[in-house]
């Protein structure tokens, strides 16, 4: 990204920071040197974000105009990244009112620019309600007479993007995909990195003010091409089976059961898939000549980097830690294409004592609970050509990055705090096991144990859920034993 900052714009407000684009835009702005303030209805939802200490947080709601002036005071520019995808038939009226409230507050506070990310689509065609609403949201913002830079994008390719995640899950889980007509609609997907480049660059590109700018990647393809391209990148064999009729309602139910996307969100998304979303005007190339959007294949490769061992960030689990750990000891969630099974328990032992116990797991020390099951899993792994448990561990108590530990590899170690292990046994996907000791203000320690699994294909998903009851039993017992052992060593 271009880090050269327009000296006239230094302080920016970002809305929609609990969403996909807003949450990724904030660190990009900080990296570029801007001072960032964020608006959130519930600031508690931002806990666990690595950038949180670097920004100013203001509580507010675009549907409550009285809360907006304080958020916008002193700002040079404001990002509007809010749009409804669920919530009843009156979503359009709410979107329009929210945009008008925001625009009016921007004008009152003398903010110089609004930057908005809307949706691609030919306005002369029969656009879906949601696509038309996204474009009309830009119109509502312009009613304030404040210069608006409106970017219009189609499918944004990135791990966690709603449209891309739907395609990802359908492709991963269904070997033969039933394809209604919308699968053959032309689209121009753009990578999340290129999208962020445009959003950040608008701040130091005066020519973008007051413009509607269509942005897309290097390829014009169909949704079917996207599915097959994703399958190729993942080494999956997939087939498309065209069907003459499958309504958006029926398609949304299918998506509901096959992916984590609920039907009430999937339906408006699918209704919009009937519209071609491709770039018709080259304004972006003229205004931003240094940005060269990548191909779909490159965008997919970047999105899949999150599944590479070195890209798994410990902060992913942090955002799932309950604010009441004693009451909610287990969380099962799907996060950016990964299944996370997280357990937590508070102990009187110190963080260093807890750390010593979980870094002593494996080898001759065993796994504290159902050790016979771990041995059987090792034997099964050896039978299919895996490493099994024979490797043991280098030292009975010490660990360092790169160590083999039974059928795991030590991937990360933070003294007295974190141990992350990457699975090297034969599994249909990628797996990690992480332990974290978090000191609490009252002197106690919270132990957080997280299993990460990125399934490959339908078999990977079946593998996880077939073994889930056994995993639940073993991991629940393990965290109890870890706490008991740590308290004995105090």
Give the pLDDT score at 489: 80
Give the pLDDT score at 337: 62
Token digits of residue 370: 């159902």
Could you tell me if 338 and 461 are in contact, meaning their C-beta atoms sit under 8 angstroms apart?
no
Buried b (16+ CB within 10 A) or exposed e, 445-480: bbbbbbbbbbbbbeebbebbeeeeeebeebbbebbe
Give the pLDDT score at 328: 41
CATH number (3.40.50.2000, 3.30.530.20, 3.50.50.60, 2.40.110.10) of 309-488 reads 3.30.530.20
Structural domain boundaries in the chain: 11-307, 309-488
Q: What is the DSSP letter of 393?
A: B
Same fold yes or no, 11-307 and 309-488? no
366: left (phi over 0), alpha (psi -120 to 50) or beta: left
Cα angle, residue 245 at apex, residues 241 and 247 outer, rounded to 5°: 115
Which residues of the chain carry a pLDDT beneath 50? Answer: 1-5, 7, 87, 309-330, 332
Helices (H), 259-383: 263-272, 283-287, 296-303, 315-318, 351-358, 371-383
pLDDT per residue as tens digits for the range 410-437:
888 999 999 999 988 888 888 899 999 9
* pTM passes above 0.85: no
Helix (H, G, I), strand (E, B) or coil at 286: helix
| 468: Cα separation from own chain's centroid | 23
Give the pLDDT score at 363: 87
| 24: Cα separation from own chain's centroid | 9
Give the pLDDT score at 312: 35
pLDDT per residue as tens digits for the range 340-349:
888 899 999 9
Helices (H), 122-239: 129-142, 162-173, 192-201, 223-234
Classify domain 11-307 at the CATH class level. Answer: alpha beta
Give the pLDDT score at 386: 76
Say how many C-beta atoms besides its own lie within 10 A of residue 26's C-beta: 24
Give the pLDDT score at 484: 93
Closest CA to 106 of 147, 151, 57: 147
């Amino acid at each position: 990204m271009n880090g050269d900052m327009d000296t006239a714009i230094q302080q920016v407000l970002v809305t929609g920071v609990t969403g996909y684009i807003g949450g990724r835009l904030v660190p990009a702005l900080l990296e570029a040197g801007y001072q960032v303030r964020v608006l959130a209805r519930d600031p508690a939802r931002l806990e666990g974000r690595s950038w949180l200490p670097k920004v100013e947080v203001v509580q507010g709601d675009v549907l409550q105009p009285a809360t907006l002036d304080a958020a916008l005071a002193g700002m040079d520019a404001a990002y509007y990244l809010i749009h409804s995808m669920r919530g009843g038939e009156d979503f359009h009226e709410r979107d329009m009112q929210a945009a008008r409230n925001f625009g009016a507050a921007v004008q009152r506070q003398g903010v110089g620019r609004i930057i908005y990310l809307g949706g691609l689509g030919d306005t002369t065609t029969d656009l879906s309600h949601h696509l038309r609403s996204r474009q009309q949201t830009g119109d509502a913002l312009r009613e304030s007479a404040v210069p608006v830079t409106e970017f219009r994008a189609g499918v944004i390719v990135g791990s966690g993007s709603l449209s891309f995640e739907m395609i990802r899950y359908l492709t991963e889980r269904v070997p033969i995909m039933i394809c209604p007509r919308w699968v053959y609609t032309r689209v121009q997907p753009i990578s999340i990195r290129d999208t962020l480049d445009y959003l950040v660059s608008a701040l130091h590109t005066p020519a973008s003010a007051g413009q509607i700018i269509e942005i897309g990647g290097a390829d014009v393809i169909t949704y079917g091409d996207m599915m097959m391209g994703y399958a190729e990148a993942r080494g999956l064999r997939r087939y498309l089976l065209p069907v003459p009729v499958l309504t958006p309602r029926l398609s949304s139910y299918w998506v509901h059961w096959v992916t984590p996307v609920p039907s009430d969100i999937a339906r408006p998304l699918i209704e919009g898939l009937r519209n071609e979303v491709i770039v018709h005007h080259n304004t972006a190339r003229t205004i931003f000549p240094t940005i060269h959007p990548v191909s779909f294949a490159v965008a997919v490769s970047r999105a899949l980097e999150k599944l590479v061992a070195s890209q798994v960030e410990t902060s992913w689990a942090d955002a799932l830690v309950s604010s009441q750990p004693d009451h909610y000891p287990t969380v099962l969630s799907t996060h950016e294409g990964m299944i996370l099974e997280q357990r937590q328990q508070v102990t009187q032992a110190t963080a260093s004592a807890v750390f010593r116990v979980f870094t002593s797991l494996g080898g001759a020390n065993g796994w504290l609970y159902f050790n016979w099951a771990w041995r059987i899993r090792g034997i099964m792994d050896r039978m299919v050509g895996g490493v099994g448990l024979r490797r043991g561990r280098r030292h009975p108590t010490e660990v360092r990055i790169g160590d083999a530990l039974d059928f795991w590899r030590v991937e990360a170690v933070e003294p007295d705090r974190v141990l992350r292990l990457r699975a090297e046994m034969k599994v249909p996907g990628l797996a990690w096991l992480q332990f974290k000791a978090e000191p609490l203000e009252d002197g106690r320690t919270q132990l957080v144990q997280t299993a990460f699994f990125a399934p490959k294909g339908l078999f990977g998903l079946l593998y996880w859920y077939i073994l889930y009851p056994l995993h639940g039993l073993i991991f629940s017992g393990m965290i109890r034993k870890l706490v008991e052992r740590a308290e004995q060593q105090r």
